[in-house]
Amino acid sequence: MPGWLKDAVFYEIYPQTFKDTNNDGIGDIQGIIEKLDYVKALGCNALWINPCFDSPFKDAGYDVRDYKKVAPRYGTNEDLYRLFEEAHQKGIHVLLDLVPGHTSEEHEWFKESKKAQPNEYSDRYVWTHHWIQGIAGHPYIGGEADRNGCYMLNFFKCQPALNYGFLNRTEDWQLAPDHPACIATREALKDIMRFWLDHGCDGFRVDMADSLVKDDDENKSATGAIWKNIREMLDVDYPEAAIVSEWSNPHQSLKSGFHADFYLDHHGNGYNTLIRDNETPGGDHSFLKKDGNGDIMRFLLDYLPKYDDTKDDGYISFITCNHDTPRARLTLSYDELKIAWALFLTLPGVPFIYYGDEIGMRYLDIPTKEGGYTRTGTRTPMQWDNSKNYGFSTAEADKLYLPQDNSEDAPTVEKQAGDPDSLYNTTKALIALRHQFTDLQADGSFSVIYAEKEQFPFVYRRGNLLIAINPSDKKAAAELREDAFVKEDAAKGDVSKTSAVYSIGSCSISGSTLSIEAQSFAVFELV
């Protein structure tokens, strides 16, 4: 486990819309370099940069045409190497985005693979043996290649599936995961990882990490075996490199070698019940909505078994949102967002903040761009200051990659930086708190102290810190058990001698009773 992950707070950057320095309306690597001090001042010490590689951009760069080349619209490879260097000088680690399951249909491998004449890349992708023979249960395309076969897709039409084999095989064109062609795909992936690690990157966020071996078993064990093999390479040659999976099944991912796995907002799961539980009748029942009458137990029933099962294997990563999900500001107000970020930044694991969420940028209802569809509204340009285009770019507004939030109260860093109560300053204070107390870091212990069905507050322990959260609009109280105050070394702790080390709103403890005002959050240290 790379030691730096323990205290890592990530900042996700969508390179298209973070900072444009050459006035073409689209963000670039130089823009990220210029904003490293901003990232550092916020308290983040790690970056995840969405794909910045050569691509026809039919899926915003998740359709990679050349894994080893920076897309010219963002700059050059040298710019990215410089970013690694300058980030490291500031104590910031950098993860790139690795797309192992598919390439662009314009990738050289695929152009070779399409040829009628057998060659080194014929089996790099999944092909059937006849132009009219489809792939039951999987999307596929016919009629596009000279080769007599149909090819399988991994996502959009522009993203043919790389071939890591099939575990359960029923057709003669399906290769076993240990077929030399499938091993060659895995080795090609390792070669790409080595290329960027050798140039100074610190690891990868891995796209659709569970999608490698097709018709895998229930536990995805054949896909897991590939990641175990890759982890062995990292442990030997790059022990400080980290891999974080888009898998959202920590039992599978963390036990297959990933250091961290995202807790994504899959329909009906625990994350969803916290911030966006608006599909049940009677309005939004999210725990973090002040009038949501939410239920923390719905989150805990999903999260706790996952945490208990994997806490010795790796970390579960909470996200404020990401480039695929609506911004949390769509359903939560600024005050609700403060409590939400307080929760996400004090739970175990490695947290990720999506650019602009520290100021509560809005989700915009805008037309699709580069395969974004309903995700496009989360990808709009960062709102830095009160200058033209909020300081994102000096290009004319109609030349920007995406439109911006034109409402009068559009948040900017500049507006919020001067206000001690702003979401920006609250986020900054919460991140500082996490760095200050090792108990709050990724592997600090976690236990539930008070959580009752449809009740507030929620009280939990991280090491010797006692944390209470009441997102509701009503005052709440809880009777705490004796063990809530027992320090980790078993000595009796006492919170009564200390006031909260951090609070939003107000909370106090008298005897064994914790009282917390509406919309409040507090962290107490047992002394």
Pick 207 or 284: Cβ nearer ligand NOJ: 207
User: 341-380: which residues touch ligand NOJ (CB under 6 A)?
Assistant: none
CB-wise, 372 or 493, nearer to ligand NOJ? 372
Which residues within the stretch 81-140 sit at the binding site for ligand NOJ (CB under 6 A)?
A: 99
d(C-alpha 75, C-alpha 211), whole Å: 30
Q: How remote is the C-alpha of 154 from its chain's centroid?
A: 20
* Count of residues near ligand NOJ by CB under 6 A: 9
User: Which residues in 23-82 contact ligand NOJ (CB under 6 A)?
Assistant: 59, 62
Q: Token pair of 479, please? A: 């009777």
**Among candidates 140, 168, 163, 171, which has minimal Cα distance to 153?**
140
Binding pattern for the stretch 419-438 against ligand NOJ, x by CB under 6 A and - elsewhere: --------------------
3-state secondary structure 343-370: HHCCCCCCCEEECCCCCCCCCCCCCCCC
User: Which residues within the stretch 188-207 sit at the binding site for ligand NOJ (CB under 6 A)?
Assistant: 207
What is the smallest separation between the CB atom of 205 and ligand NOJ, expressed in angstroms? 9
Count CA atoms closer than 13 A to 194's CA, side-chain side: 12
Residue number, 321 or 449, with CB nearest to ligand NOJ: 321
Nearest residue to 470 via CA among 424, 505, 434, 421? 505
**Smallest separation, CB 66 to ligand NOJ (Å):** 16
Binders of ligand NOJ among residues 229 to 248 (CB under 6 A) are 246
Give residues with Cβ within 8 angstroms of 75, minimum separation 6: 28, 29, 30
18 with 36: CB under 8 angstroms?
A: no
- Within 8 A by CB and 6+ apart from 345, the residues are 9, 351, 427, 430, 431, 433, 434, 440
- Answer for which of 215, 324, 414, 517 binds ligand NOJ (CB under 6 A) is 324
User: How far apart, in whole angstroms, are the C-alpha atoms of residue 81 and residue 95?
Assistant: 12
134: exposed, middle or buried (Cβ count in 10 Å: 0-12, 13-18, 19+): middle
Q: How far is the CB of 361 from ligand NOJ (least distance, A)?
A: 18
Q: How far apart are CA 190 and CA 120, in angstroms?
A: 17
Q: Which is nearer to ligand NOJ, 122 or 245 (CB)?
A: 245
By CB atoms closer than 10 A (0-12, 13-18, 19+), residue 269 is middle
Q: Which is nearer to ligand NOJ, 88 or 266 (CB)?
A: 266
Site for ligand NOJ in 137-156 (CB under 6 A): 155
CB of 270 to ligand NOJ, least distance (A): 20
Residue 115: CB minimum distance to ligand NOJ, A: 25
CB of 323 to ligand NOJ, least distance (A): 6
Which of 202, 207 has the CB closer to ligand NOJ? 207
Complex with ligand NOJ: residue 181 or 208, whichever CB lies closer: 208
CA dihedral 500, 503, 506, 508 (to 10 degrees): -20
Q: Report residue 47: phi and psi, to 5°.
A: -120, 145
In whole angstroms, the minimum distance from the beta carbon of 60 to ligand NOJ comes to 6
Which of 181, 208, 330, 395 forms a contact with ligand NOJ (CB under 6 A)?
Answer: 208
In the complex with ligand NOJ, which residue's Cβ is closer, 49 or 451? Answer: 49
Cβ 352 to ligand NOJ, closest distance in Å?
Answer: 12
215 binds ligand NOJ (CB under 6 A): no
Q: Which is closer to ligand NOJ, CB of 131 or CB of 156? A: 156
Q: How far is the CB of 79 from ligand NOJ (least distance, A)?
A: 23
Closer by beta carbon to ligand NOJ, 373 or else 445: 373
- Least separation in angstroms between residue 324's CB and ligand NOJ is 5
Kindly tell me which of 102 and 338 has the beta carbon lying closer to ligand NOJ: 102
Backbone angles phi, psi at 470, to 5 degrees: -135, 90
β-pairing, 203-206 vs 242-245, is parallel
Which residue(s) pair with 460 in the sheet?
A: 448, 467
Least distance in Å: CB of 515 to ligand NOJ?
A: 42
Instruction: Choose among 148, 109, 113: nearest CA to 131.
Output: 148
- The residue with its CB nearest to ligand NOJ is 62
Task: Enumerate binding residues for ligand NOJ (CB under 6 A).
Answer: 59, 62, 99, 155, 207-208, 246, 323-324
